[in-house]
Every structure is written in C-alpha cells, then in structure tokens.
C-alpha cells in the first residue's frame, strides 16, 4: 500500500519544501492551501490510511473547526501539526487532534521519522478496522460453547450485558475458563465493536512499565523516553480496554487507574495536560477479588468501582456434560489445522476425559486434545497421548512420588506469597525449567508464570 500524505499549508514556499522532502522518501503527496480545499479528496478516500501534515501560518478558529470535522470523518489518518508561533502554545484543540505537534521551523529529519511513525499508526488502525469485521463473526455469543445450564446462563447474561452501556465490568473465573474469550465476545457484540479492543496482562509487566503502557508518556519523561508514546487508554479510546490479571496490579497504580476511570481523563507521564478518554474497561482475574480487597491487596474503592457489573465463569469440572459438545468441536478444529482425520473417540478416551478434574479448564482440554490430534496416526483418537492423571478429582490426586509432593504449613508461619514462590520453585525443579509444561501442570499461562519466576528471582536459584 502506497504511503499517502496530505499537506495543508497556507505558506506556498513551505508547502513546496515539505513536498520535495517527502517525495524523496517515496510518499504520494497532495497539497492544499486551506482545509476546505482538502475536504473533497480526504473524505472520498476516508478509509485509506494517510498522514496529514498541517502547517498553517494562521490557524483561525474557523480553519480549526474545519480541520476537526475532517479529522473526525477520516477514520484512519494521523495528523502532524507544525506550529509557527513559538510564543503561543498549541491550543488544547490542536493537541487533541494531533498525533504530534512540532515547532516550526521543524527539523526535517525528525519530521520524516515522525511521519513514518504516524503512517505505521494509521496503517495499524486501518488493519484493525478491517480485522474487526472478521473478529465480529468469530466472537459471536455462540463462541462461548457448551450446552449445560451454567453455560446457557452465561450466554444469556452476555446477551444482556452487550445491550447495556458498560463503563466497567469484572470477569472472574479460574484460569482457562474463557475470561479473555468473554471479553472479546462482549466487545465485538457490543456497541463499541467498531472501535479498538486493547488487551494488557497486568501480571506480565513491572510497575513502571505498566504505568507508561497504560497512560503513555511525553518525550523526555524518563531516561529512554525519546518520543511521545500514546498509552493504552488512548489507543483504546472509544472502544474497550481489557486488563487481565488485575489482581496483580501495584496499589499505587490501582489508585491512578481508579482516578482515570472516575474522571474519564488521563495524563501521560511527564505530561501537563489531561486528555479526555471515553472507553469501557473490562478487568479479569482468577483470584478472589473480594478476598484480595479484604487483605489489602486490592483497593476497596477500585473493587467496588469495577464490580458494578460482574460475570463469573464456571469451571469445567462443574459442568462436565459440556465435554460432549466441546471435545468433538476441538478435535474437528485441530483435524483441520493439522490435516488429520480423527472421527472416532473410543469409550476409554471418554471415560478418562470425564474422570479428570481439568484444573486448567478449557485451555488444558484444548492443549491435551491438540497433542492427541497432532500425534494421531489414523481416524481413532489415540488414548495413549492423553496422559491424564487417573484419579477422579484434583484434590484426591496423589503425587506420583514423595519428590512430587509439597508440604505447606497452614499455621500462619508462611505468607501466601511465600507459598506461591515455593510451589513454583518446586515445579521448576521437577519439570526441568520447562515453562510450557509447568504452566500446564499449574493450570496457568506462560506469561503469568514467567512474570512470577522473574518476581521471585527463581531463574538461577531453583
């Protein structure tokens, strides 16, 4: 796709200079002396990603209104403003519209780099917009599969919630029960489906990085912040911000998050002005938030704010009848992906599948089935690759040897975090640092596990 640029400038010499500079970098340029002239072309190609450079000597309110109306109708463009009058700081209105604002005369090399970044951002938005149509089909209510009454109830709640203008929602459930899936369904089936869905796993990042990811930063806000960065709140503006593992967020950051939710405004790190944001926030967690709030790990006020609407996803072990629906679907999916042809699931396979407790829920079920399908040789589901523990429930599962057992004192001598560390340390030793396998054994995601390995500094010492 050609990189297209529009230059809007009432200074013919500057317009010519910019044109020559960008043409050398292979941009396709069209230029206009006034915003009104640009209208026809820009609106006709509204769905094309492009960069618009505005370099007006006089930026009247009338011109600004015209630029704003163009900006709002062009869904996939990024705007760079060159402001000549250094005495006068750019108005809040320009700041709202701009991908970035540079003082004029601008360093052309910097401008060229900025234009490249703006183009990438415009292109991403364009892709997202087109991608949204397919995602909307993929994440219909029926994507949350199962036929049990518990699943029917979740589906009916999802339908109800998708009609409500949600500002916050909390999704709870054990790992692998479909919290991410449900967030996508609610986004793509809801009113904001044309706007972005932006996801962040709060457990995967250290505090400082998480903060700048969420709120963005200005150039020079901290060492290494060379350019302005639009945070996830801004990237998700108009749409949905999905915060996974919210229970792992630092308390100070929780306070900032709550303020952003309540004020509908954020401030980039190192930034002076507040930026309006209008989005819905879905937060997911596999820990008991009520308890986390009681223990002081989650701010009570944030907990109450987030849990105005909540949805709980039932674990697979409480609705095993859903296996009859899920297993054939998953087998068919991996048959297709791996060009396999399983069409018989023997009784002994069903017996093992139904007897197992599935602590990692649907994610674990999918992983097990994927392995079996990939290793299958004919049309019969290979029982030997199930490799599930025999016993009926996880709680009654006996460790295969003393080596695989862990004695945890519950007399108050060890804090929950220390127990967490000990469990992971033991699992690392037993599984030879195979993160994928340990994540499966502990029924969690690789990201969460990696984060904890780093947090407890277990790399060398396990």
Ligand X SMILES: Nc1ncnc2c1ncn2[C@@H]1O[C@H](COP(=O)(O)OP(=O)(O)OP(=O)(O)O)[C@@H](O)[C@H]1O
Under the rule (CB under 6 A), what is the footprint of ligand X? Answer: 144-146, 173, 175-181, 244, 284, 286, 362-363, 366, 444-445
Nearest to 150 by CA among 183, 189, 180, 178: 178
How far apart are CB 194 and ligand X at their closest, in Å? 22
Closer to ligand X by Cβ: residue 49 or 146: 146
Phi/psi at 389 (5° precision): -60, 150
| Alpha helix stretches (DSSP H) within 140-220 | 149-162, 179-188, 207-215
How far apart are CB 162 and ligand X at their closest, in Å? 16
User: Residue 360: which residues within 8 A CB-CB, separation 6 or more?
Assistant: 175, 176, 367, 440, 443, 444
Closer to ligand X by Cβ: residue 35 or 173: 173
How far apart are CB 143 and ligand X at their closest, in Å? 6
Q: Which residue number has the CB closest to ligand X? A: 178
Closer to ligand X by Cβ: residue 75 or 333: 333
Closer to ligand X by Cβ: residue 145 or 162: 145
Closer to ligand X by Cβ: residue 80 or 330: 330
Q: Using CA atoms, how far apart are residues 286 and 288, in angstroms rounded to an integer?
A: 7
Closer to ligand X by Cβ: residue 8 or 236: 236
How far apart are CB 325 and ligand X at their closest, in Å? 9
* β-pair type (265-266, 275-276): antiparallel
Say how many CA atoms lie within 13 Å of 217 toward its Cβ.
Answer: 17
How far apart are CB 449 and ligand X at their closest, in Å? 10
Q: Using CA atoms, how far apart are residues 414 and 424, in angstroms rounded to an integer?
A: 15
How far apart are CB 202 and ligand X at their closest, in Å? 11
Nearest to 397 by CA among 362, 350, 353, 356: 356
Q: Using CA atoms, how far apart are residues 403 and 426, in angstroms rounded to an integer?
A: 9
Q: Using CA atoms, how far apart are residues 284 and 296, in angstroms rounded to an integer?
A: 18
8-state DSSP, 319: -
């Amino acid at each position: 796709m050609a990189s297209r640029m529009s230059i809007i400038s009432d200074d013919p010499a500057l317009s010519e200079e910019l044109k020559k500079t960008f043409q050398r970098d292979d941009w396709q340029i069209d230029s206009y002396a006034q915003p009104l002239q640009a209208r026809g072309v820009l609106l006709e190609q509204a769905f094309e990603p492009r960069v618009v450079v505005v370099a007006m000597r006089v930026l009247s309110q009338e011109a600004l209104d015209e630029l704003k109306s163009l900006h709002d109708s062009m869904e996939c463009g990024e705007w760079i403003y060159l402001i000549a009058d250094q005495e006068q700081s750019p108005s809040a209105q320009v700041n709202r519209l701009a991908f970035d604002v540079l003082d004029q005369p601008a360093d052309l090399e910097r401008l060229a780099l900025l234009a490249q970044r703006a183009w990438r951002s415009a292109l991403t938005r364009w892709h997202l917009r087109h991608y949204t149509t397919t995602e909307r089909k993929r994440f219909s209510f029926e994507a949350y599969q199962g036929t049990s009454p518990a699943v029917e109830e979740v589906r009916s709640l999802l339908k109800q919630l998708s009609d409500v203008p949600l500002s916050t929602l909390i999704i709870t459930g054990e790992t692998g029960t479909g919290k991410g899936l449900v967030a996508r369904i609610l986004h793509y089936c809801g009113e904001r489906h044309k706007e972005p869905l932006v996801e962040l796993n709060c457990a995967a990042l250290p505090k400082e990085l998480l903060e700048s990811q969420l709120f963005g930063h200005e150039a020079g806000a901290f060492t290494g912040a060379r350019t302005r960065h639009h945070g996830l709140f801004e990237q998700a503006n108009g749409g949905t911000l999905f915060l996974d593992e919210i229970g792992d967020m630092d308390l100070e950051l929780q306070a900032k998050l709550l303020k952003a939710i309540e004020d509908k405004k954020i401030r980039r790190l190192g930034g002076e002005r507040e930026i309006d944001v209008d989005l819905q926030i879905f937060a997911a967690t596999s820990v008991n938030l009520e308890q986390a709030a009681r223990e002081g790990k989650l701010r009570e006020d944030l907990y109450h704010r987030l849990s105005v609407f909540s949805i709980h996803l039932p674990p697979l072990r409480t609705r095993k009848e859903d296996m009859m629906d899920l297993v054939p679907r998953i087998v068919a999916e991996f048959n297709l992906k791996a060009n396999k042809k399983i069409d018989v699931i023997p009784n002994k396979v069903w017996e093992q599948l139904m007897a197992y407790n599935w602590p990692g829920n649907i994610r674990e079920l999918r992983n097990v089935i994927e392995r079996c399908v990939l290793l299958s040789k004919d049309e019969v589901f290979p029982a030997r690759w199930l490799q599930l523990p025999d016993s009926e429930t996880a709680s009654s599962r006996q460790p295969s040897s003393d080596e695989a057992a862990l004695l945890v004192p519950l007399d108050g001598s060890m804090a929950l975090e220390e127990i967490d560390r000990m469990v992971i340390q033991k699992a690392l030793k037993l599984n030879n640092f195979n993160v994928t396998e340990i994540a499966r054994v502990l029924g969690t995601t690789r990201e969460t596990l990696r984060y904890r390995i780093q947090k407890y500094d277990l790399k060398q010492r396990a």
